[in-house]
Amino acid sequence: MKSLTILFTLLLPYCILAQTQLSIPEDGLQEISIQGNLADGNQIHDLSWAWNSSVACFPATVADKFSGHHVLYQIIIPKNTEYKISVIPKDSHDELSLYAYQVGLNNNSIVPELSQCIRCEADYKTDRKWKGKKNAERHIRSIQNILAIQQPYKAIIAVVGAHGLKNAAYTLKIKKL
């Protein structure tokens, strides 16, 4: 019984990270919005998967931007489809980060146990101003190039609190381009 308790304790963080599966209709969808909160996620203490060269999601130098709770969502990307994914915090002072990675339909790898992926895109707050990004939009995180051309793929989307943030309401938007 003691070994079963230890095993459960070791696996519990990975079970809690199970993602929410979103069903996105293929016919005519232009955009969906989902309300969420970082309190529904968990911290991932080992982020080394992200700077592994076969994932290449974000560099170790910005790990603090991904140190809070991670809330995961899963979508299927139909062939000939590209999505733009954005997260908007309810309070513009809450600093959120965003990443999404693509894997094959039968690949059930979830961070932090992700050893490789087809593509990973991330967005996080930087201290410098970006050309074309208005000051009023600096709290919004967006990524593109989440796409499928000849065959469908699975995408895992993560909304993450920066600097250890564990509780913040947000709107996740997924828009078909």
Select from 2.30.42.10, 3.30.300.130, 2.60.120.380, 3.40.630.30 the CATH code of 18-176: 2.60.120.380
For residue range 36-94, list pLDDT tens digits in order.
999 999 999 999 999 999 999 999 999 999 999 999 999 999 999 999 999 999 999 99
Q: What is the 3-state secondary structure (H, E, C) of 48-72?
A: HHHHCCCCCCCCHHHHHHHCCEEEE
Q: Domain boundaries in the chain?
A: 18-176
Question: Over the chain, what is the mean pLDDT?
Answer: 84
Bond from prior residue into 59 cis (ω within 30 degrees of 0): no
94 burial type by CB count under 10 A (0-12 exposed, 13-18 middle, 19+ buried): middle
pLDDT at 13: 39
Kindly tell me if the per-residue pLDDT of 138 is higher than 50: yes
Whole-model pTM: value is 0.84
- Residue 97 and residue 124 in contact, taking contact as beta carbons nearer than 8 Å: yes
